Structure 1
């Protein structure tokens, strides 16, 4: 069964690969064919004719190109000469009572001149015939007939304009075909990446973990990568479509301005961004260097923290339990200085709006952080006062238990009934704290038991037995030795107090109960009423 599934999977992968290869091969052949057409089209446009390389300027009548002129001398440039003729022709046609019949053509050996009532508006030279395929006389007659109102300029066939129109149309068709091939190429690349992701596992997808927590499993990570590929494909298609529209519009005079505006919506912000980025680049390098320096400084401090916590490095007057809170304080200070430095070097950090936002944020934090700040300062004082440590048994007012957590803001204790009590450090500073564990580390913690006896029983008669009973209690040490004291006398009765030492504060209530029980048993053996 497993072999069959594996064989089917391999066959499916082979079919998918073959299909993708056929698609890519077809795409490459289409792209090559389009490239050959594009080259042939422009090769035809660039005719290897000496006349095409001649510098020339058009003569226009009512926006129609009649012919080109190419003669210039040291007195007047070719472009200025063409502009002068075009301007005079246009001005003459707009003159009231203009009659084209009055246009005279005078010829000489070196030039041909066109006049209207002794007003010379055009002079043609023999070199102007280059590239026009007509004589200078035909050029003059063509200019005269074009200015005649009887003639219909739109009816004349202008091969150059027709060729330019066809050329523009061909370029637009090629751009559309090229855009289609690009769209198809983007889809092929997307399908290829998705197929590789599913079958051959081009990207080694492993579950994403943070410490011991699985943030993203393999399936969710695959869905995230697949969504990213789809979004990237859609973004590329949108950009290509947006660039295609103004590209096509740029070939038409009526829509060129719109095309330039559409291009400007993308390229102007992009140009501003690139210029701003390069202007900001030195500041960015400085910020990166500060971040790297802060990172390695924190690593350096973390190394010394571990050395001090492990007591491999001993500093006189600096206790091992101070290592962690001191490291946290230094790390917080480094982070704060780094953030302030980065904010000062951000783009627009000196603008009034930016400064106003920072002021509002600072005021908000100052008003809302009074209690956390009080707890923070109290936590620092408690830490360096060494009032208690994690694992110590303490009493805070009416609450008693073992310290299970202590940080710069709160202290958490666990009572004997498995209740967790969270106390703010500001309250810990104001409360009366008893540390039982600190006492047991010295002589031991004192556990006592009080009882009343009749005055007729003498102290010497019961001292020895009560002390021996105390030594029999659970976790009572024999050094220092238990002490029996008389604490009060009232109406023929005497109050006794037996005090013993223990070094096990974790079982304080149990030890006290055992002491009472042993004293009770001893008094019953002695037939003493209590």
Structure 2
């Protein structure tokens, strides 16, 4: 850059040389800073101090040059003065640009430089960013903190004893003979203030903080805080006692008038909760509310007690944060979840109404108002249960991505773990479910049927997707897994007992000797069947001769009934009637195995049925 310097005296040449030197050095310095950039990972605290020192030296040199330029301009004629003023203006523009770049560099350093706090007890007074002399920032901060604590611990303290003293280089903040800290040009440049302004600011903060802390820790205030704390504890104990008494009275009142206020909870004539359970739930709710109130008062009292003493004042915020932080987090999570919750509700209502529509058609099929070819009415409810399960499962699959935390690794890990457990531990359950589905659509029996499954005979009282329950004639309830039902043979005694069916054939066998005519035996057996209750007259009973053995004939009586569930009673009465009818007909029920000829002893027929002297 060429400058037009008119021929003048030695002072003008010297001044121009100094200006060029300062301008060149400043431009080079700023260009170096601009080329290197501000890196938060590489700039150290010494870099900050060196930058401030260079800027301080530059400002001092600028002030000297300005004074010399003023003297030179005053001694020059008008023509030379105008030329010099033009050149000086160009230099000042370059100087202002350099200063702007330096301020930008300092602002960048402020963003990455962490100050050290000067503290009194738990309060931060101000931050120190630069060192002074041989003291680094950390050492300087420790020294200032120590002197402030020393003044705080003095037996007597006067707020107005703080003064600002100029030592020729820095401004010292002094309390009596204690120099608390020195405010340097570096400090002023860092904060963009004058030394006097910064020193006044520091003095005010230190004086007020020491005065406040001494007031808070005075004996009078400590005694007052202790009395307030004791009063708070006494009030807390009294309130807890009153709360216990209040809830005890309410519980006693509820017990005394249980018949008036607690009648149980019913839904559609079905009692969900009994009177005793209703009262028990109310009393437990009272205990829960009482415990919540007591804990809330204890929590509030502790927060108040901690706030009384300066040393524990910070604990109040910690104690409150234990409640407020989770509560705020839950509230924010709930607010974020609201759009997903609305989506879940819409999905639920759509599937719920779809299931209601399917239920309507199922009820119509059960009532035979709707008939489907090849679809039995007793399939309606099981089919509805299957469809409902599939729809709810599909609904959960759709809803799952909208659940809070569903995309977190922990949630997904738990889902995988539960899936593995279900697959490993439910093999037999799945087998029973599949067997239950097959049994449902095979229709081997229905509720109330008398069946024989394996060695078990009884009435079907329950069948579901997992098991079938049978009640025997001895009132024994036997549970059979559906997989066992499917793998074993099943006899249904009730399948042919409808109005259009002939009925179940009950049969029993008696053996009669060859000396008795078979027609006489047949008539006696048929008469016994006709006398038996629940035995049908049509189709008529009949007798089959099932075998001709060495000494007797086997007669099998067959009779129809439509009451298979009463087969045990029918058999018992039938056997009684067989004995009576055979005795009336003079037929002995016996299976003779001859060892010797009868010698004239009486027969096995009861005496009341004798017509002549039996042989």
With normalisation by structure 2, the TM-score equals: 0.51
SS in 1 for 2:558: strand
Shift of 1:475: 2.2
Indicate yes or no: 2:332 matched with 1:275.
yes
Deviations 1:30-81 (A, max 9, x none): xxxxxxxxxxxxxxxxxxxxxxxxxxxxxxxxxxxxxxxxxxxxx9xxxx9x
Shift of 1:480: 1.6
Counterpart in the other structure of 1:512 = 571
Shift of 1:147: 8.0
CA distance in 1, matches of 2:472, 2:318: 74
CA distance in 1, matches of 2:542, 2:406: 74
User: Aligned match of 1:423 in 476, 480, 489?
Assistant: 480
Contact 1:487 1:495 in 2 (8 A): yes
CA distance in 2, matches of 1:492, 1:194: 91
Counterpart in the other structure of 1:448 = 507
Shift of 1:369: 1.5
Counterpart in the other structure of 2:461 = 404
Indicate yes or no: 2:539 matched with 1:480.
yes
Contact 1:470 1:519 in 2 (8 A): yes
Shift of 1:262: 5.7
Counterpart in the other structure of 2:286 = 226
Q: From the superposition, tell whether residues 347 and 167 of structure 1 become closer, same or farther in structure 2 (CA, over 3 Å).
A: farther
Counterpart in the other structure of 2:592 = none
SS in 1 for 2:468: strand
User: Aligned match of 1:390 in 447, 459, 463?
Assistant: 447
CA distance in 1, matches of 2:453, 2:469: 11
CA distance in 1, matches of 2:176, 2:241: 60
User: Aligned match of 1:502 in 554, 561, 567?
Assistant: 561
1:290-369 map, 5 Å: 290-293=347-350, 308-309=365-366, 315-341=372-398, 343-369=400-426
Counterpart in the other structure of 2:79 = none
Range 417-426 or range 337-346, more displaced? 337-346
SS in 2 for 1:232: helix
Shift of 1:324: 3.8
Counterpart in the other structure of 1:133 = none
Contact 1:394 1:400 in 2 (8 A): yes
User: Aligned match of 1:206 in 251, 262, 276?
Assistant: 262
Contact 1:246 1:263 in 2 (8 A): no
Number of equivalenced pairs = 399
CA distance in 2, matches of 1:147, 1:517: 126
Counterpart in the other structure of 2:299 = 239
Shift of 1:443: 0.7
1:43-442 map, 5 Å: 117=168, 146=174, 149=177, 180=232, 190=243, 194=247, 197=250, 206=262, 209=265, 211-212=270-271, 213-214=273-274, 217=277, 219-244=279-304, 247=307, 265-293=322-350, 308-309=365-366, 315-341=372-398, 343-441=400-498, 442=501
CA distance in 1, matches of 2:313, 2:531: 106
Shift of 1:488: 3.3
CA distance in 1, matches of 2:313, 2:580: 111
Q: From the superposition, tell whether residues 246 and 342 of structure 1 become closer, same or farther in structure 2 (CA, over 3 Å).
A: farther
Contact 1:93 1:147 in 2 (8 A): no
What's the RMSD between the two structures over aligned residues? 5.1
Structure 1, unaligned runs of 5 or more: 1-74, 81-85, 95-112, 123-142
CA distance in 2, matches of 1:456, 1:266: 102
Shift of 1:403: 1.8
SS in 2 for 1:480: coil
Q: From the superposition, tell whether residues 230 and 446 of structure 1 become closer, same or farther in structure 2 (CA, over 3 Å).
A: same
Contact 2:251 2:283 in 1 (8 A): no
Deviations 1:162-187 (A, max 9, x none): 8856997999989x979959969976
CA distance in 2, matches of 1:244, 1:230: 21
Shift of 1:524: 4.3
Contact 1:484 1:496 in 2 (8 A): yes
CA distance in 1, matches of 2:372, 2:329: 56
Q: From the superposition, tell whether residues 464 and 346 of structure 1 become closer, same or farther in structure 2 (CA, over 3 Å).
A: same
SS in 2 for 1:427: helix
Q: From the superposition, tell whether residues 234 and 354 of structure 1 become closer, same or farther in structure 2 (CA, over 3 Å).
A: same
Contact 1:209 1:216 in 2 (8 A): no
Shift of 1:435: 1.1
CA distance in 2, matches of 1:470, 1:255: 100
Deviations 1:77-98 (A, max 9, x none): xxx9xxxxx99xx96999xxxx
Q: From the superposition, tell whether residues 472 and 258 of structure 1 become closer, same or farther in structure 2 (CA, over 3 Å).
A: closer
Q: From the superposition, tell whether residues 167 and 507 of structure 1 become closer, same or farther in structure 2 (CA, over 3 Å).
A: same
Shift of 1:459: 6.0
SS in 1 for 2:470: strand
SS in 2 for 1:439: coil
CA distance in 1, matches of 2:513, 2:214: 131
Deviations 1:444-489 (A, max 9, x none): 1112233445668776676566544433333222222223334334
Shift of 1:224: 1.6
Contact 1:469 1:519 in 2 (8 A): yes
Contact 1:484 1:499 in 2 (8 A): yes
Shift of 1:273: 3.5
Counterpart in the other structure of 2:188 = none
Contact 2:236 2:298 in 1 (8 A): no
